Amino acid sequence: MKSRMKDQNITTKNAKLSLEDEILHLTIDYKNGITIDDAKEIVSAAIKLSKGEKFLCIMKSLNYSLPSREVRAYPVHDEVAKYIQAIAFIAINPVANIAARFFIKISKPPFPFKLFTDEEEAIKWLKNFQIKK
Domains of the chain, start order: 8-127 (3.40.525.10)
Separation between Cα atoms, residue 90 and residue 113, nearest integer Å: 11
Number of H helices, E strands in the chain: 5, 6
What's the average model confidence in pLDDT over 51-80?
A: 88
Indicate if the pLDDT at residue 77 is higher than 60: yes
pTM of the model: 0.84
- Give the model's confidence band at 133: pLDDT under 50 very low, under 70 low, under 90 confident, else very high: low
